[in-house]
Amino acid sequence: MAAPTIHPSAIVDPGAEIGEDSRIWHWTHVCGGARIGPGCSLGQNVYVAPSVVIGKGCKIQNNVSLYDGVILEDEVFCGPSMVFTNVVNPRSAVNRKAEYLPTRVCRGATIGANATIVCGATIGANAFIAAGAVVRGDVAPFALMAGVPARRIGWMSRSGERLALPPSGTGEARCPATGEVYRLDGERLECLEA
């Protein structure tokens, strides 16, 4: 493992924790108190607030702001210019810092470019949020979400392949990339190889 790489234009405040082999790119600001795990990549113009926790192996693309209350578990992908919010009903003239709602993105989830995650949601493990989607509530593990507001349009494997399963009901499918078998039981999908 190697020390983190921090571009000279980046600002990393005292008290920020950055794991080994992580890379912090151009014009990124990591506030003191933020914790970034090993092997992460933070692209150009990323902002990381003081209470943010980022697990190992996360990829955060350009122009993403992670505000107080955001937690990314391991191996989360945040696409370019996707948005996290932290207040449900913001007003410039009303201070609502005491009302910030936490947002958790579970292991292996993907959030596409320009998607918006409204605060207070939990994005399940290996879920896949399509580009431009607006998520207003919790998302089940492995769910493929698209639209405004986002709705489940299918299911994804751990390797990011769409599974040939009905949107709801029961059935089994194999991941076309890995051959892993998945079983759908109503609103719950599980990988039988885990």
Question: What's the pLDDT score for residue 193?
Answer: 83
Question: What's the pLDDT score for residue 20?
Answer: 98
pTM: 0.96
Question: What's the pLDDT score for residue 167?
Answer: 64
Sign of the CA dihedral with 31 first, then 37, 38, and 41 last: negative
CA distance linking residue 72 with residue 27, whole number of Å: 21
Question: What's the pLDDT score for residue 113?
Answer: 98
Question: What's the pLDDT score for residue 169?
Answer: 79
Token couple for 7: 């571009």
Question: What's the pLDDT score for residue 165?
Answer: 87
Give CA separation, 129 vs 30, 42, 164, in Å: 25, 19, 18
Domains plus CATH for the chain? 5-158 (2.160.10.10)
How far is CA 4 from its chain centroid? 21
Q: For the chain, which ranges sit under pLDDT 70? A: 167-168, 194
CA distance linking residue 170 with residue 187, whole number of Å: 9
Backbone angles phi, psi at 97, to 5 degrees: -60, -30
